Amino acid sequence: MNRNIKEIVSHFNTKGDYLSFKKIITGHINDSYYIKTSSTDHPGYFLQWINSNIFKDVNGLMNNISLVTNHLSEKLAHHPELVFKVLEIIPCSDGNKYYLDAQGQYWRLYTFIDNMHGYEFVENTEIAYKGGEAFGIFMSLLADLPAGRLTDTIPDFHNMEKRLGNFYHSLNTDAAGRKKDIPSEIEFVMSRAEQMLLIPKLIKEGKLPVRITHNDTKFNNVLFDANDHAMCIVDLDTVMPGSILFDFGDAIRTGANTALEDERDLSKVDINLPIYEAYTQGFIQSTRQTLTKVEIENLAFSARFMTFIMGLRFLTDFLDGDTYYRTQYPEHNLVRARVQFRLVEQMEKNAGKMQQIVLQSLGN
Ligand code: GN1
Ligand code: MG
């Protein structure tokens, strides 16, 4: 794809003239760039190409982000004790929230959040606590934004029934001829499929509340400042109606894994219980007023649920021939799936302790 970044940026209302760009390697879906302008008192911009093969309704998606960021800014204005930053959408010169180029590609621009860092790997329990607290605050601040105003940017995103259905379909199709390589992973999925349907069942029966949730709470989506204060929640593409369990679970999947998402040495993969405990405490601290009994009962299990669903999605994409996630080598999705499944096993072994930690954190 031919990308003229300078030309693309020229359609947005920037401060200063375009000077240069730098590609930022992050995420598996969109492409990101840092944009430097001639303005000396501006941190620059964060340009993103939005993958519209995955996000089919970019207009709805950008409306969601606009509603959410406006709501957060208003709420924070009334809560001076909460020191947070909110992503700022930079509109195009015609007022549009995104730019659709002549090749049919979608672009958006944010103010760059400078002097912040995220954690690919959570280094200590203090960081974990603050991350949990921040994601909890994010959700709590959005609690009074009517969920019906947001579009589902990816319908059935964490719907296990649908994800299992897609997996079985890909297994039957075997588009890339890879089914023969994964007998033990198929067995892993089959043996756990039924228990994983508990959460969708509770949602269907109305026993788990549907709230506005982030739905992609990788730990590195919390940005920390130089003093390690959790300052900003980023990656808002999937903020839409969902269960709080999705947000808790995905943060544990990423933050409390002793290894990275694509570690080849599975012996390094384990659940880091002290990090899990600290995250749980921080999260409960900021959500305890909101959490229902059924949510609490399933909080520990949600970590396993989200780890399983990500493993399932990586494995499905491996079967499909890597059509969804960006990969760096042919078996990358399989490596990712194996890490998730190993982590599920480790969580199974520690299920009792994980449940106990939730209960203890509520007592604090
Ligand atoms: C994708 O691109 P990134 O890293 O923000 C995916 C998430 C997965 C994640 C796995 C829209 O997120 O659901 O958890 O990869 N996002 C989408 O690392 O599918
Ligand atoms: Mg994301």
pLDDT digits (tens, 9 = 90+) for 93-134: 999 999 999 999 999 999 999 999 999 999 899 999 999 999
Ligand 1 atom nearest to CA at 218: 14
Output the CA 364–ligand 2 centroid distance in Å: 32
Q: What is the pLDDT of residue 67?
A: 98
Cβ–ligand 1 distance for 216 under 6 Å, the answer yes
Ligand 1 atom nearest to CA at 324: 19
Summary mean pLDDT of the chain: 97
Question: What is the rounded distance in angstroms from the CA atom of residue 27 to the CA atom of residue 31?
Answer: 8
**Does position 265 have pLDDT exceeding 70, yes or no?**
yes
Report residue 320 CA to chain centroid gap: 22
Q: Does residue 31 come out as left (phi exceeding 0), alpha (psi in the -120 to 50 range) or beta?
A: beta
DSSP, collapsed to helix, strand or coil, labels residue 358 as helix
**Does position 219 have pLDDT exceeding 80, yes or no?**
yes
**Does position 1 have pLDDT exceeding 80, yes or no?**
no
Q: Kindly give, in sequence order, each residue whose CB lies less than 8 Å from that of residue 80, ignoring residues fewer than 6 positions away.
A: none
Q: What is the pLDDT of residue 242?
A: 97
Q: What is the pLDDT of residue 60?
A: 98
Q: At what angle do helices 125-141 and 273-287 cross, to 10 degrees?
A: 30
Query: CA angle, corner 77, sides to 75 and 82, nearest 5?
Result: 80
Question: Which residue from 249, 247, 267, 250 is spatially nearest to 258, judged by alpha carbons?
Answer: 267
Ligand 1 atom nearest to CA at 314: 10
Q: What is the pLDDT of residue 306?
A: 99
Assess contact for 5 and 32: CB atoms under 8 A: no
Question: What is the rounded distance in angstroms from the CA atom of residue 355 to the CA atom of residue 364?
Answer: 15
Q: Which H helix or E strand runs over 339? A: helix 332-349
Question: Which residue from 61, 22, 15 is spatially nearest to 39, judged by alpha carbons?
Answer: 15
Question: What is the rounded distance in angstroms from the CA atom of residue 157 to the CA atom of residue 316?
Answer: 14
In this structure, what token pair is assigned to residue 310?
A: 């990500």
DSSP, collapsed to helix, strand or coil, labels residue 272 as coil
Cβ–ligand 1 distance for 238 under 6 Å, the answer yes
**Residue whose CB lies within 8 A of the most ligand 1 atoms, among 160, 162, 218, 306, for a mutation test:** 218
In this structure, what token pair is assigned to residue 195?
A: 């228990």
Helix, strand, coil fractions of the chain, as percent rounded to 5: 50, 15, 40
Q: What is the pLDDT of residue 225?
A: 98
Assess contact for 45 and 37: CB atoms under 8 A: yes
Q: What is the pLDDT of residue 349?
A: 98
Question: CA-CA distances (angstroms) from residue 33 to 45, 50, 59, 235?
Answer: 8, 12, 21, 14
Within 88-136, strands assigned E span: 89-90, 99-100, 106-111
Cβ–ligand 1 distance for 28 under 6 Å, the answer yes
Confidence of residue 195 (pLDDT cuts 50, 70, 90): very high
Per-residue pLDDT tens for 131-178?
Answer: 999 999 999 999 999 999 999 999 999 999 999 999 999 999 999 999
**Does position 364 have pLDDT exceeding 90, yes or no?**
no
pLDDT mean over 228-252: 98
**Does position 2 have pLDDT exceeding 80, yes or no?**
no
Beta bridge partners of 100: 106
Residue with tokens 């009994």: 293
Cβ–ligand 1 distance for 326 under 6 Å, the answer no
What percent of the chain shows pLDDT beyond 70?
99
pLDDT mean over 82-100: 97
Q: What is the pLDDT of residue 181?
A: 97
